[in-house]
Amino acid sequence: MLGLIFKLPRERPLGFDVSWVGPVTLFEVEEQLIVGNRQELKEQVLEQLKSGDRKFVIDFAKTGYIDSSALGVLVSLSKAIHEKGGELCLSCLNQDLRTLFELTKLNTLFRIADSKEEALEGF
C-alpha cells in the first residue's frame, strides 16, 4: 500500500505540503492551521476531490495550533469528501489538539490516527 510518493512542487509558501502515497492524497500541515492558510488548504483539497482523488489524510505532526475558522474548514471538507464517496483521516494530533477535538466533539466526526502510517494503512 505504501508506494511511490509524489510531492507537489511549491511555488509559494502554503503552510502545508501536498504529496501522494499510492491512492492517498496527503496534506502535511506545518506549524499552524489558521485564517491565513485555511482557505488555501480547502481549495487544494477541493481541487484534488474535483480531479478524482477520494482518499485524504491531513497530517498534523508539525502542527501546534488550529484556530476555530480552520476547524470549520475541516468540517466542511469532511462533508464535501463524504458526499463524493471519499474518506478523510486526520493524523498525529498532539495532546492539545486532541483535547480540542474532544471538547468540540469533532473526534466523533473524523477518523483520527495516531501516526501518518496508521492513517495511510487505514485505506
d(CA 71, CA 65): 11
d(CA 64, CA 94): 7
Q: What is the mean pLDDT of the chain?
A: 90
- Taking the C-alpha atoms of 60, 62, 64 and 69 in order, what is their torsion angle to the nearest 10 degrees? -50
Q: What is the pLDDT of residue 15?
A: 84
Nearest to 53 by CA among 76, 91, 85, 75: 85
- pLDDT tens digit sequence for 38-67: 999 999 999 999 999 999 999 999 999 999
pTM of this structure: 0.89
Report the domain count for the chain: 1
Provide the residue range defining the domain that includes 82: 5-121
CATH number at residue 24: 3.30.750.24
pLDDT tens, residue order, the chain (123 aa): 455 555 555 444 468 999 999 999 999 999 999 998 999 999 999 999 999 999 999 999 999 999 999 999 999 999 999 999 999 999 999 999 999 999 999 999 999 999 999 999 988
CA angle 80, 85, 91 (to 5 degrees): 70
